[in-house]
Amino acid sequence: MIPILGLILGLVIGIFIPVNIPPQYSNYVAVAILAAIDSVFGGIVASLEGKFEMKVFLSGFFGNSALAAMLAYIGDQLGIQIWLAALFAFGNRLFLNFATIRRIILNKLSKKDNIIDE
C-alpha cells in the first residue's frame, strides 16, 4: 500500500505545485520518472505477493532513477541517445509489472468468488 500512497501523493503534489523543467533536461527527467514509476509498480507487485521490503523499494526507486538519468547524460555527452534504450527497458518492465498486478488481483477476486459459491 505504501507505493500506491506515494504515487498518489506525488501526483497530487505535481498537480498543485507545477515545476518547469528546462528543455535541455527533459530527457533526463523523463527517464528518471519512468524508472521511478517502474519501481513503484514493482513495489506494488511485491506488496501483493507479501514480499515488500522498504529498503529494497527505496534503493530501487532512487537507484534506478539516478542510474537512468546518469546513463541518459553519458549518452548525451557521447552523442548517443541511450535514453531511448532506457525508456524501452523501463517501459517494458512497467507493462510486465502491470500485467503481474492485474493477474494477482484477478486471481484473488476469482478465489473470493469461488469461496462464496461453495
- What are φ and ψ of residue 91, in 5° steps? -65, -40
Tell me the Cα Rg of the chain: 17
Number of domains in the chain: 1
Pull the grid cell for residue 82.
541511450
Average confidence score pLDDT of the chain: 85
Q: Report how far apart, in Å, the C-alpha atoms of 27 and of each of 5, 42, 59, 96 are.
A: 26, 23, 22, 23
Q: What is the pLDDT of residues 63-118, one digit of tens each?
A: 888 888 888 889 889 988 888 888 888 889 999 999 999 999 999 888 765 555 44
Domain containing residue 111:
2-117
Other C-beta atoms closer than 10 Å to the C-beta of 31 total: 28
